[in-house]
């Protein structure tokens, strides 16, 4: 009986070792595939960045500050029809996590998201336009400005998300 029990224990140890090694190899593979993609520097700059253009269609100044997890810009005060442009660097590992938010004196909005039509490689930029009532994002597929309800986010005011505007009449 002891001989059979010993063989059974050896088989159990062998099976456990094989499972542990297979698990280790699988985890290593899962970790190395995204890392190897991050090292791929053969793609041109257009694929790595996207231009975001914000145009002030107000009759007054538009104060704006844009930020992401990786980058933070200072507040910019745009005169009527002035533009604020910045480049979004799209993450190589998990590009869907690439997002840019902007706060204005009127509210907050998401200026860049991976699933916007303008984020595709076919298009050069993501364009936004603001007036006193709404914010508009250019939809390159439909070739028209899409209106978004744009109202101050008072929860963001309490957290400092909406910035104090600069007005000069």
Looking at residue 62, its pLDDT comes to: 84
Average pLDDT over every residue of 86-102: 85
**Which residue would you say has higher pLDDT here, 34 or 107?**
107
Q: What is the pLDDT of residues 125-167, one digit of tens each?
A: 999 998 877 889 998 889 999 987 665 554 444 444 555 555 4
94-120: b (≥16 Cβ within 10 Å) or e: eeeebebbbbbbbbbbebbebebebbe
Based on the fold, state whether residues 58 and 11 are members of the same structural domain. no
**Residue 142 domain flag:** yes
Q: What domain range includes position 35?
A: 1-39
Mean pLDDT over each residue of the chain, to the nearest integer:
76
Based on the fold, state whether residues 147 and 115 are members of the same structural domain. yes
Local confidence band at 86 (pLDDT 50, 70, 90 cut-offs)? very high
Based on the fold, state whether residues 52 and 4 are members of the same structural domain. no
Based on the fold, state whether residues 148 and 78 are members of the same structural domain. yes
Based on the fold, state whether residues 72 and 141 are members of the same structural domain. yes
Based on the fold, state whether residues 116 and 79 are members of the same structural domain. yes
- Inform me whether the pLDDT recorded for 85 exceeds 90: yes
Based on the fold, state whether residues 76 and 152 are members of the same structural domain. yes
**Residue 166 domain flag:** no
Looking at residue 150, its pLDDT comes to: 64
Based on the fold, state whether residues 33 and 56 are members of the same structural domain. no
Based on the fold, state whether residues 34 and 76 are members of the same structural domain. no
- Inform me whether the pLDDT recorded for 6 exceeds 50: yes
**Residue 167 domain flag:** no
Q: What is the number of other CB atoms lying within 10 angstroms of the CB of residue 50? A: 24
Based on the fold, state whether residues 12 and 49 are members of the same structural domain. no
C-alpha 49/C-alpha 90 separation (Å) is 6
Based on the fold, state whether residues 33 and 71 are members of the same structural domain. no
**Residue 168 domain flag:** no
**Which residue would you say has higher pLDDT here, 76 or 157?**
76
Kind of pairing, strands 49-56 and 125-130? Answer: parallel
Looking at residue 83, its pLDDT comes to: 94
Q: Domain tally for the chain?
A: 2
**Residue 169 domain flag:** no
**Residue 27 domain flag:** yes
């Amino acid at each position: 009986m002891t001989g059979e029990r010993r063989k059974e224990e050896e088989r159990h140890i062998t099976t456990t070792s094989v499972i542990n090694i297979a698990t280790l190899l699988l985890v290593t593979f899962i970790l190395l595939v995204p890392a190897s993609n991050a090292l791929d520097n053969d793609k041109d700059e257009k694929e790595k960045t996207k231009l975001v253009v914000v145009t002030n269609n107000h009759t007054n100044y538009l104060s704006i500050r844009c930020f992401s997890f990786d980058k933070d810009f200072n507040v910019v005060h745009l005169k009527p029809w002035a533009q604020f442009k910045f480049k979004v660097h799209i993450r190589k590992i998990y590009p869907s996590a690439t997002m840019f938010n902007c706060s204005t004196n009127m509210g907050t909005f998401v200026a860049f998201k991976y699933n916007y039509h303008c984020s595709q490689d076919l298009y050069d930029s993501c364009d936004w336009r603001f007036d006193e009532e709404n914010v508009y994002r250019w939809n390159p597929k439909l070739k028209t400005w899409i209106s978004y309800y744009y109202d101050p986010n008072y929860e963001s005011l309490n957290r400092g998300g909406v910035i104090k505007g600069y007005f000069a009449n």
